[in-house]
Amino acid sequence: MKIVLLTMPATWEQDQHDFMNQRISPFRWLRIKPLVNVVPSPSLLYLAPFVIADGHDVVYLEGLFHSFERARARLRELKPELMGVTITSVDWENSRWMLNELKREFPDTVFVAGGIHPTLWGERCLEECAGLDFLVYGEGEHTFRELVQALSRGTSIEGVQGIIYRKGAGVRRTPPRPVVEDIDTLPFPAHHLAPASDYLPSPTFYNRLPHANIIGARGCPYECIFCHTDRHTRMRSAGNIADEIQWLVENQGVRDIAFWDDTFTLSEKRVDAFCDEIEKRGLDVDWAVNARVDRVTEGMLRRMKKAGCWRILFGIESGVQKNLDTLKKRTTLDQIRMAVSATSALGMEAYGTFMFGIPGETFEEGLATIDFACSLDLDYAVFVNLTPLPGSEVYNDLLAGKIKPSKFTRDRFNFKNVSFVPEGMTEDQIRFLIQEGHRRFYMRPRLVWKKIRRMRSLLDLKKYINGFSLIATARYMKRPLEPQLH
Ligand code: B12
Ligand code: SF4
């Protein structure tokens, strides 16, 4: 079978850039435009080895490199018999519009979707999107392989665990497939389908190029109310991860790795073992991770730095303890201060993410979070609005009426539309806090100087000038931003 694994063309990134471009840049005469930041999708690349092993012809098409029209033109050339797409809730609205368009143009192609949104939304995805034929819920590797086997051999699909499909006028679901317990047994993602040299991530993502990403674990045992993740955490061994990195170094000349584990530092033993592997094998790579502030120690950070770690992203969320408690973050302001200052003191970059619109939060507390962010020795900060996503506690509590909103647009998952405003705050205040947070954080001379010193290329320079100029000229926007594709 000819199979195309497709990431849906630019929506979120494009929207973000449109959001930024709505403001007038004083540097517009330099014709500096934001660059789209794209990285390959492990969700799809993990599936590929299973169908390649069965002799299918597999193409990975990075839709995010293309406009929808260009992706469509490429698909006309490729003529796929089956198309696999990965979908998050954030992407759903735009993706389903595009999938319907594609199905109209390629009626004989079988469309299969998987990922977090089909897993959580299930039958509703088929009901809301006529363009989709099959959903794979949960982990996809074995399910996708069996589904493709059944479709290509013309045998029954009913015995394939973990799928949702149309039958007559209805929709059927087969029983769930148990997860792969030992994820070391999975083949590495098909990196050869998406060569690292084709990609240029944002400067906050890489230290050197070429850059690649690694999934070192699946799941997270914590229970933050805004997040849905598999609580059943499975970690790859240090040796298995180092084998994948070694492959990337030897075959694609990779010099930089981003770990996308929810929390890389869950096991100090594994961190140690991983650092040992990198050093023992003499792998010349820099790497970056996500971590919780309460799951790092100075000794661990020192070890990581020595083995090439250059950046740590911490989900900080708030500068007000009461709001951290509401989020069930299970962290304290002191832990945040300690983790960030130790990371910076050791010469690694620290990246913090923050959110506004936490249930019970006031506007003044939002301002206190901005003060707190500026008081930390962070290199980057991102401020977003809490968006209730399916599967999260905050979403379920809103539906059950346990949280009182002053605004809640149900099932509007696109972050830019401020779908949720807690009682005691207004949408305008949340929009203001997001812009003010970025403006105040990035316009500090100390930070600007730090960034100038770290500049690595002309492209970085262009991105920084663009970013700073937009932030500097930011005006508080009242107009709601609507999706463009429907
Ligand atoms: C890497 C990552 C990113 C990368 C994405 C890069 C890329 N090219 O994929 C970046 C940094 C860009 C990113 C951005 C954002 N992300 Co993100 N991200 C992740 C992260 C950490 C890992 C995803 C991943 O690759 N997992 C590993 C793969 C192997 O697992 P998987 O995706 O579940 O795929 C398996 C199955 O789902 C299934 N499957 C998946 N797709 C398909 C397709 C087919 C055809 C089949 C058969 C099966 C299948 O099989 C796969 C293998 O078993 C997840 C959290 C997580 N741990 O999953 C969050 C996560 C996906 N992100 C999330 C969010 C909220 C965001 C942002 C909105 C953050 C922000 N505020 O800006 C943006 C928006 C992105 C968007 N457009 O949707 C949420 C999405 C929640 C939701 N319901 O939509 C998640 C789940 C985090 C969370 N727990 O809240 N993210
Ligand atoms: S926000 Fe981070 S720590 Fe909290 S549950 Fe999600 S992945 Fe785990």
Ligand 2: which residue has its CA nearest to atom 4? 224
Would residue 394 count as lying in a domain? Answer: yes
pLDDT recorded at residue 25: 43
Q: Is residue 484 exposed (0-12), middle (13-18) or buried (19+ Cβ within 10 Å)?
A: exposed
What atom of ligand 1 comes closest to residue 180's alpha carbon? 53
- The answer to whether residues 156 and 21 belong to one domain is yes
- The answer to whether residues 233 and 154 belong to one domain is no
- The answer to whether residues 94 and 56 belong to one domain is yes
Instruction: Please give the distance of CA 319 from its chain centroid, rounded to a whole number.
Output: 23
User: Is any ligand 2 atom within 6 A of the Cβ of residue 224?
Assistant: yes
Would residue 481 count as lying in a domain? Answer: no
**Token pair for 450:** 């730090």
Would residue 178 count as lying in a domain? Answer: no
Q: What is the CATH number of the domain that holds 36?
A: 3.40.50.280
pTM across the whole model:
0.93
Q: Which of 225, 230, 263, 294 to mutate to test the pocket of ligand 2 (most atoms within 8 A of CB)?
A: 263
- The answer to whether residues 150 and 214 belong to one domain is no
Ligand 1: which residue has its CA nearest to atom 10? 39
- How far is 51 from 83, CA to CA, in rounded Å? 12
What atom of ligand 2 comes closest to residue 226's alpha carbon? 1
Read off the pLDDT of residues 120-165 as tens digits, 9 standing for 90 and up.
999 999 999 999 999 999 999 999 999 999 999 999 999 999 999 9
404, 355 in Cβ contact below 8 A?
no
89, 117 in Cβ contact below 8 A?
yes
User: Is any ligand 1 atom within 6 A of the Cβ of residue 238?
Assistant: no
Residue with tokens 């040992």: 276
User: Is any ligand 2 atom within 6 A of the Cβ of residue 314?
Assistant: no
Length of the chain: 486
User: Is any ligand 2 atom within 6 A of the Cβ of residue 315?
Assistant: yes
Domain stops at, among 173, 205, 230: 173
- The answer to whether residues 301 and 360 belong to one domain is yes
User: Is any ligand 2 atom within 6 A of the Cβ of residue 229?
Assistant: yes
Q: Which of 116, 215, 218, 220 to mutate to test the pocket of ligand 2 (most atoms within 8 A of CB)?
A: 220
Would residue 485 count as lying in a domain? Answer: no
Would residue 256 count as lying in a domain? Answer: yes
Would residue 236 count as lying in a domain? Answer: yes
Residue with tokens 């799951």: 295
SS3 235: strand
Would residue 478 count as lying in a domain? Answer: no
SS3 193: helix
What atom of ligand 1 comes closest to residue 230's alpha carbon? 57
- How far is 397 from 404, CA to CA, in rounded Å? 9
- The answer to whether residues 248 and 392 belong to one domain is yes
- DSSP assignment of 57-104: EEEEEEGGGS-HHHHHHHHHHH--SEEEEE--HHHHHHHHHHHHHHHH
Residue with tokens 């929810």: 262
Q: What is the 3-state secondary structure (H, E, C) of 292-328?
A: CHHHCCHHHHHHHHHCCEEEEEEEEECCCHHHHHHCC
- The answer to whether residues 200 and 247 belong to one domain is yes
Rounded to 5 degrees, what are φ and ψ at 134? -135, 145
- How far is 382 from 441, CA to CA, in rounded Å? 9
Cβ neighbors of 438 (< 8 A, separation 6 or more) are: 381, 382, 383, 471, 474
Using the mean position of ligand 2's atoms as its centre, give its distance from the Cα of residue 220 in Å.
6
Domain boundaries, position 397? 195-472
- The answer to whether residues 161 and 268 belong to one domain is no
User: Is any ligand 1 atom within 6 A of the Cβ of residue 289?
Assistant: no
- The answer to whether residues 367 and 466 belong to one domain is yes
Ligand 2: which residue has its CA nearest to atom 2? 262
Domains contained in the chain, number: 2
- The answer to whether residues 272 and 209 belong to one domain is yes
Long-range contacts of 67-76 (CB under 8 A, 24+ apart): 67/9, 67/10, 68/9, 68/98, 68/101, 68/485, 70/9, 71/6, 71/9, 72/101, 72/102, 72/105, 75/4, 75/6, 75/102, 75/105, 75/106, 76/105
User: Is any ligand 1 atom within 6 A of the Cβ of residue 65?
Assistant: no
Q: What is the CATH number of the domain that holds 433?
A: 3.80.30.20
Would residue 106 count as lying in a domain? Answer: yes
Ligand 1: which residue has its CA nearest to atom 28? 43
- The answer to whether residues 84 and 205 belong to one domain is no
pLDDT recorded at residue 26: 45
- How far is 291 from 268, CA to CA, in rounded Å? 12
Nearest to 96 by CA among 55, 64, 124, 57: 124
- The answer to whether residues 423 and 465 belong to one domain is yes
Domain stops at, among 140, 173, 206: 173
SS3 253: coil
Cβ neighbors of 44 (< 8 A, separation 6 or more) are: 5, 6, 7, 60, 84, 86
Read off the pLDDT of residues 367-407 as tens digits, 9 standing for 90 and up.
999 999 999 999 999 999 999 999 999 999 999 999 999 99
Low-confidence residues of the chain, pLDDT below 70? 10-36, 459, 463, 466-486
**Token pair for 346:** 């050791």
User: Is any ligand 2 atom within 6 A of the Cβ of residue 316?
Assistant: no
Using the mean position of ligand 2's atoms as its centre, give its distance from the Cα of residue 435 in Å.
24
User: Is any ligand 2 atom within 6 A of the Cβ of residue 222?
Assistant: yes
Domain stops at, among 173, 206, 233: 173
